[in-house]
Amino acid sequence: MKLEKILKQKQADIVKKWFESVVDTYPPDTAKFLKKQKDMFLNPVGNTTLESLEGLFDELLKGMDHEAMMSFIDPLIRIRAIQPIFSSSQAVAFVFLLKKVIRKSLKKELSQDRFLSELLLFESKVDNLSLIAFDKYMECREKIYQLRATEEKNRIYRAFERAGLVTELPEDGPVLEKI
């Protein structure tokens, strides 16, 4: 039996453990809530995280279509990019937790050397996923900084405008009078 087939058989259990590992990166009270609350409207972060992890794992088994990977990782990275509790590395480190979960879940099967090369190949896919996650994280952070800069610029402009230090030019341009 190939490693991929074993991973497919244990997919639900692996994704569940991966989800729990990812949720454990949050503060304890938050992690408890995210694990316990199943309602997607009361727990959108937990629901989005689980859906993203399910899609990512499925795509890792299928063949890593870049567009599909981006569609699954995008909502999860957006959430982690705006949360101040995570550094850049912590925001994307959840990807690597999958390696640990797989090694624990397949401990018996991996004791046989015949799966080692397949495991290394699968783990290289996980490494590639981490690069995709980091690119997406940086894209989100750049957007956040851009929004903050624009907001600050607009705030300062409105303050100057209220103080009478700036005015809008008429659409026709400035009126030049002869002296």
CA distances from 169 to 48, 172, 173, 174, 175 (A): 47, 8, 6, 6, 10
- Digit-coded pLDDT (tens) for 135-147: 999 999 999 999 9
- Digit-coded pLDDT (tens) for 88-137: 999 999 999 999 999 999 988 887 777 888 899 999 999 999 999 999 99
- Digit-coded pLDDT (tens) for 26-80: 999 999 999 999 888 999 999 999 999 999 999 999 988 999 999 999 999 999 9
The domain segmentation of the chain, as residue ranges, is 3-162
pTM of the model: 0.83
